[in-house]
Structures are given as C-alpha cells and as structure tokens.
Amino acid sequence: MLSIKRLHYSSLFLILRPVSPLSATLARTSRAYTPLAPFRGVPAARHFKSFAPLFACSVLAALFGPVSNCNAQSSPNAAADILLINGKIITVDAQDSIAQALAIHNGKIVAVGSNQEIRRHARKNAAIIDLHGRTATPGLIDTHCHFDETAKLYGIELSNIAKISEAVELVRQKVAASKPGEWIRGSGWDEGKLAERRYITAADLDKVAPDNPVWLNHTTSHYGVANSYALRLAKISRETKDPPGGTIDRDAASLPTGVLKERAMDPLTNLIPDFTRDQQRNGLLKMMADFGAEGMTAAKDPGTEGIRWNLYQELLKENKSTVRIFALLYGGRTLDSARATLARLQAQPKPPQSFGDGMLLSGGVKLFMDGSGGGRTAWVYDPWFKKRTELDAGNTGYPNIEPAEYRQMVKLFHEAGVHVSTHAVGDRAIDWVVDTYDALLKEKPTKGLRHGIIHCNIPTDHAIDTMARLQRDYDSGYPETQAPFMWWIGDIYAASFGTKREQRLMPYKTYTQKNIIWAGGSDFSVTPFPARYGLWSSVVRRTLSGTYGSQPFGTAESVDIHTALKSYTIWAAHQLFLEDRIGSLEVGKDADIAVWDRNLYSIPSDDIKNIRCELTLLRGRIVFDASASKSR
C-alpha cells in the first residue's frame, strides 16, 4: 500500500490518508491522520531510509535509446508540492532512463532524479508519496478507444459467453424484464469464442423473443445479429439486395440469417433509440473511473457523435473529467457529409489548442476506407479464408467509401489543415490510404497534420516504405494499431487471414527497423481497454483460445517491453498532439503518472498482462488509489 506524508522542516513526518479517486486536489493540512500501512512487507520505519543504488539496465541505441540511471533534471529554484520517492520511475525519455524520485509543483514535473536530489525541492507541507520500490510510468494512453461504457451498463454484456445458449438465456431474461415491442440490445459476442464456432442467428433468438426486436452487436461492431421481429421492422427479407458496402448473410435458401455486416446494418440500427442523456453521461463517468483504475490518463475517441462532445464539455466544466480526450468526428461517406463535418470542426480550435488546458481537444476527423478482418469485409488483394484453410472464394472485401470520393474527402480536410485518421484493415485499403496521403502531401506539403492509419493490420512493403517516408518528410502517416486484436479476436483473425497473410499482421519489428513509430490502442469495445493487454500482446502475440495454435501470427514481429511502452506513452501522445505535455516523465511536463505493483521491465513477458495499477495521478492529483478503493 502506498503511503502519503507531509514533510515539515522540523523533520516531523505526518502520515496522511490518500484522497478519494475523484478528489480535486491533495488535501492541504498538517493535521495528523490515521497512519497508513506501508507496502506489503515494508515497515514504516524504512520509508525514508537510503535505498540501494538505482536499478541498472542494459543499453539500447538510437531510436530505442539506452536505458540508464537518470541524470538529475530540475527547474531552477523549483519548490515541489508533491514528491514521489523510493521508486523505479520509468521516465520514457530519450534515453529510457530510470529514476528514483520526482517532484511535482502545480501539476507539473519540476525535478527528476535521486531521493536526495528530489528532497531538496520539497516545500513546507509537501505531500510525500513513498513508492516503496514500486514502478511508476507515464500515464498510459489509448489512441483508439470508443470511450463509452453505456452499452455495458444498460445492455446485455456478451463478451464472456462461451455458448450460444448462454446468449439466448441472457436475451430471455432481458425480454422477461421488458415490455412487448421494446428493443433488446446487447454487444460483445464473438463466434471465435463460442463452442459452436458459428454466428448467432435469428433462429436462435426468435424462440425467446417473438414479441421484441433484438439486436446483438458483434465485438468488432462491424456486424451483428437481429431476430426476425427486428428484420421485419427494418424491411429486410429474401428480396432485399445487399447494399453497396454491406452484406446480408444468407442461408442455403437465400433467407437472411439475421447477421448483417457493415452498411447492411444501417436500416436496422437506425431504428434503435439512443440511450438517454443521463445514461450516456453515466457511461462516460464509468469509463473515466475505469480508465484511472488501469493507470490510463488519455484517449483518442474516434466516435464523438450525437451529444458526446457536449457531455465531454459539460463534465470538464463540472471538474469531473479525469481523462484527457482527443475527439474525432465521423466524416461520413460522401463529399457532402465531409463538408458538413468540416464546418463543425472549423467552429473549434485545432490541436494542440484545447479546452481545460490540455484536457479536451477537438482533434479532427475519422473516415472508413474498409471494414473488418474478423468479418471478412476489409478490402484486400487476395480472397479471405474461412476456418483458416477454406478459401472464401471471390470475397476480397470492399471499400467503405468509393475510393475516388475518399480521396476528394481527404483533400478537403487536408487543405483545411485538419488531422485525418482513416480506418484501414486490409492491405489494399492501407495502400489506398497511404497513397492518398502521399499524393496530397506532395500537392500541398504541410508538416505536422499527423494523418493516421487506424488499425493498419496487414500493410504491404509499399505501404511500410511510404509511411516511413511520410513520417520523415511530413510528420504524417502514422499507424494507430491495436495489439490486443491478436489476443481478444485473434482466433477469428487466424481463421480469416490465412497462414501467409497473418505473418504480416501488425509488423512492429519491421516498423522499428524502418524507423516508423506507431501509437497503441484497444478499439474498445472491440477488445478490453486496459493498456496492459496491449503491452503484453505487442511482446507475446498470443491468441485467447489458441484454436489455430497459440501464436499463429508468429513472433518475428514481436518487440520488447521497452518499445511496446513507447507505443502507449510518448508515441501515443504524439498522435494526440500532446507529446510536449505528456507521454514521458520529464521536467516541464504534466504529472500524468501510473504506479504499478511490478516492474514492467524486469518481470517475465507473460506477466505483463497481469500487472495491477496502485495509484494514478492526472496533472499531479490522485484520480485512482487502489488502497482507497479496497477500503470502501
């Protein structure tokens, strides 16, 4: 357990109880509180004794520079409100230095170094957080998170079911608590995790929901399943043709099975009423609290539609926002929709300008070039597979936007100086996106827009070389990838990509060799959002169930934990336009800090996914304290 103290010039140490996770500031008082227990096995008498020499690490070079003891950094005459001492502080600076302590004043880091050096910065009544050897890192960042737990709070949670019958039973229970005609909705199912290894269908749902429309969103959100009642409401029948950019799954008799993919979902999902304002607000608050509990302090939200932007501003004004948000608006599928989105964006400041001093940014626009790898709708050069070896003949997916139209939409945003991040999973889609960025940057060279490629699952050699050049010449062309795909939906990926293509999945090692940086994320609710899963997956590349082997994507493209951590800290901060404020623990940066129960750099790789956050600070204030949570 962490201990927080006050330092008095009389050398009297008074122990303070940690503040609650959502408190605005550390309490300013010299009154004694009930003493806290120190970390397990560390007596209180040792809190301020000298520690052994700093942890020594091997040397890396160049881009992934040397890990060394931290040379002391400090602002001249800086007086600190808060000190973190007796720790292993992974700074993620250019040398990947390890420090023992750091000092914070007014939410910013003013010194990094040894205990002795940092104590010199303590002002009267400074708060002392004794780490007792625990590891601190920069607050972790998710660069692709649909930042909302409303559906999990108020819908049916299906991410943990193992059989179709379990989904059917959960629907039955919800129907029993609902009125006839009310929508029943759920999310999170994945056929790769089901014993039957098949889609849930309308036939499964009809027997328990004859009088209610049902929609169960797949974990990828690129397809889902409806019951017959819902299909009738959406006027989807045997005669309904597949829309452009969409697929109606059909049985041998050409009858809809209930599974709808991509744009085929629109006629049905447009009928489902939105969650209420209060429900959506609760979903954001829960997401922020849960982020803090995982040592996460910032997110890039690619789905800021409806009232979500207004809710973000509302929570910020009420001082209830505990996660930095970089928000993207959806640009639609046509040049007209892009123009409407641009008008909305032009009413807001461009990054790095922000609301709340770096807390909320109107970041730019998200576009879709294709669909899903798991759903076999992503745009690829060669056909998809079923069950890994069975060719899905003729199916090479499809573009979500007509390619020429997409290029004109990006041109509109690029010429207006707007950051663009494009969803591209398939190799053909990725090529089209990077070639679009390349052509427009040559036409109008603009450095610093940092255009991104969301997912960027199976880039070709051409795409990789183009991204390297765009990053070097224009500060653009950055993969925003989700390593947990290899774990959480890895079994359906292995079934769909085929043995040749899957070896190119998320080629992190190749990126390092080409001096390409990338930004990590989860794509929640496609995968669970804790960044520890992404760190682990970047290193281990193991699937959840091992249906086609535990590591069907191989390990040739694995990276070490030092590199993986950069993708969820300093490289991720770059894609939020906040790398000068967050992403590393250096003097002058905001004190966004996570404290962990284990040292990420020394534990076995398989243990990375099991690390636990003990304390999270945002701009120097505690937003999560595990000891306080346990005591409630």
202, 257 contact by CB (below 8 A): yes
Predicted local distance difference test score (pLDDT) of residue 309: 96
Predicted local distance difference test score (pLDDT) of residue 75: 67
Q: How many H helices and E strands in the chain?
A: 20, 29
Cα angle 382-383-385, degrees, rounded to a multiple of 5: 130
Q: Where in the chain is the domain with CATH 3.10.310.70?
A: 155-269
pLDDT at 24 over 80: no
Q: CA torsion, points 197, 199, 204, 205, in degrees to nearest 10?
A: 140
Measured between alpha carbons, how far is 149 from 197 in angstroms, rounded to an integer? 27
pLDDT-derived band at 3, boundaries 50, 70, 90: low
Read off the pLDDT of residues 269-281 as tens digits, 9 standing for 90 and up: 999 999 999 999 9
Read off the pLDDT of residues 169-193 as tens digits, 9 standing for 90 and up: 999 999 999 999 999 999 999 999 9
- Least confident interval from 62-66, 154-158, 559-563: 62-66
Q: How many CB atoms lie within 10 A of CB 200?
A: 27
The residue count for the chain: 632
In the chain, % of residues over pLDDT 90: 85
44 dihedral zone (left: phi>0; alpha: psi -120 to 50; beta): alpha
* DSSP letter, residue 196: T
Measured between alpha carbons, how far is 467 from 450 in angstroms, rounded to an integer? 11
Read off the pLDDT of residues 377-386 as tens digits, 9 standing for 90 and up: 999 999 999 9
Predicted local distance difference test score (pLDDT) of residue 258: 97
82, 109 contact by CB (below 8 A): no
Q: Which fold has domain 3-139+617-631?
A: Urease, subunit C; domain 1 (2.30.40)
Predicted local distance difference test score (pLDDT) of residue 555: 97
Predicted local distance difference test score (pLDDT) of residue 69: 52
The secondary element (H helix, E strand) that includes residue 18 is none
Predicted local distance difference test score (pLDDT) of residue 306: 85
Read off the pLDDT of residues 208-245 as tens digits, 9 standing for 90 and up: 999 999 999 999 999 999 999 999 999 999 999 999 98
351, 326 contact by CB (below 8 A): yes
b/e sequence 208-227, b meaning 16+ C-beta within 10 Å: bbeebbbbbbbbbbbbbbbb
3-state helix, strand, coil in the chain (%, to 5): 30, 20, 50
Q: Give the closest residue to 461 by CA, choosing from 510, 500, 497, 515.
A: 510
Q: Give the closest residue to 96 by CA, choosing from 129, 55, 50.
A: 55
User: Span 155-269: which CATH code?
Assistant: 3.10.310.70
b/e sequence 356-386, b meaning 16+ C-beta within 10 Å: bebbbbbbbbbbbbbbbbbbbbbbbeeebbe
- What is the pLDDT averaged over residues 79-91? 96
Q: Is 374 helix (H, G, I), strand (E, B) or coil?
A: coil
Read off the pLDDT of residues 471-514 as tens digits, 9 standing for 90 and up: 999 999 999 999 999 999 999 999 999 999 999 999 999 999 99
Partnered with residue 186 across adjacent β-strands are 156, 216
- What is the pLDDT averaged over residues 597-615? 98
Q: CA torsion, points 536, 540, 546, 549, in degrees to nearest 10?
A: 170
pLDDT-derived band at 4, boundaries 50, 70, 90: low
Measured between alpha carbons, how far is 509 from 167 in angstroms, rounded to an integer? 39
pLDDT at 263 over 70: yes
Paired tokens of 335: 């040049």
pLDDT at 202 over 70: yes
* Sign of the dihedral defined by the CA atoms of residues 431, 342, 360, 591, in that order: positive
Read off the pLDDT of residues 297-310 as tens digits, 9 standing for 90 and up: 999 999 888 899 99
pLDDT at 542 over 80: yes
pLDDT at 19 over 70: no
- Residue 229, Cβ density class (10 Å: 0-12 exposed, 13-18 middle, ≥19 buried): buried
Please state, rounded to an integer, the average pLDDT across all residues of the chain: 89
* Sign of the dihedral defined by the CA atoms of residues 197, 199, 204, 209, in that order: positive
Q: Where are the beta strands (DSSP E) in 477-573?
A: 478-481, 519-520
pLDDT-derived band at 77, boundaries 50, 70, 90: low
Predicted local distance difference test score (pLDDT) of residue 305: 84
b/e sequence 130-157, b meaning 16+ C-beta within 10 Å: bbbebbbbbbbbbbbbbbbbbbbbebbe
pLDDT-derived band at 5, boundaries 50, 70, 90: low
Predicted local distance difference test score (pLDDT) of residue 229: 98
pLDDT at 368 over 70: yes
Q: Where in the chain is the domain with CATH 2.30.40.10?
A: 3-139+617-631
